[in-house]
Amino acid sequence: GSHHTGPCASMSLGPPMTLLLGRPELTPTAIKAGKLLARRLAGQSAELMNYDNVPTTVFTPLEYSCVGLSEEEAEKRHGKDRIEVYHAFYKPLEFTVAERDASQCYIKVVCERGGNGKILGLHFTGPNAGEVAQGFAMSFQCGATYSHLVQTVGIHPTCAEEVVKVHITKRSGLDATVTGC
């Protein structure tokens, strides 16, 4: 039979065979899920695949990459008043030299509100978005917080540096355009 699961559901096999829908269709995800399943079937582990923290990239002329929850999914799970969204529009150095429009280069960090602000999602549009997201994806496995993010020293001048500098919340209504260094 067919069974639609949410992003946190576990994988199961048995009579009847269960078909899982709605998961990221990425080869590395399938390989990781398969290895975890094999370990469970062999009795070596009980670890389940965490589909929430699978990084993915859309390889278009201006790349989009994300890891974790969308703002909308975070609101559904935690409540709008219990999340904080930090964001920024930035201009990559390579766009300055080439005089390219950077109005679509955008960063969004979705966090739990209060405390250290556990990071729930990271969304990045800009050059090398996949490389940027891959670098931050591991921190999700370690429970990264907004405090960790802003305590990180960025590599200058890189697009990833803009992620660790993000400080304007959507809730504030302030202009999120990055200016200067």
What domains lie within the chain, and their CATH numbers?
Answer: 2-51 (no CATH), 55-172 (3.30.390.30)
- pLDDT over 50 at 5, yes or no: no
| Residue 19 reports pLDDT greater than 50 | no
The residue annotated as part of the active site, out of 3, 4, 156, 167, is: 156
Band (pLDDT 50/70/90 cuts) for residue 151 is very high
What pLDDT shows up at residue 115? 86
Amino acid at 112: E
Top pLDDT among 15 and 150 is at 150
Share of the chain above pLDDT 70, in %: 85
Other beta carbons within 10 angstroms of residue 142's beta carbon come to: 8
What pLDDT sits at residue 142?
93
Per-residue pLDDT averaged across 145-150, rounded? 96
Q: How far apart are CA 21 and CA 135, in angstroms?
A: 28
> Contact, 5 vs 21, CB < 8 A?
yes
Distance CA 127, CA 123 (A): 13
DSSP annotation of 52 reads G
pLDDT of residue 62: 92
What confidence score (pLDDT) does residue 25 get?
Answer: 60
Known catalytic membership, residue 156: yes
Give pLDDT tens digits for 70-112: 999 999 999 999 999 999 999 988 887 777 776 789 999 999 9
Within 10 angstroms of residue 113's Cβ, the number of other Cβ atoms is 17
* pLDDT (average), residues 22-51: 88
147, 116 Cβ separation under 8 angstroms: yes
pLDDT band for position 24 (50/70/90)? low
CA terminus-to-terminus distance, the chain: 56
For the chain, how are helix, strand and coil distributed in percent, rounded to 5?
Answer: 35, 20, 45
Token pair for 173 = 């209504």
Q: Looking at the predicted structure, is the pLDDT value of residue 119 above 70?
A: yes
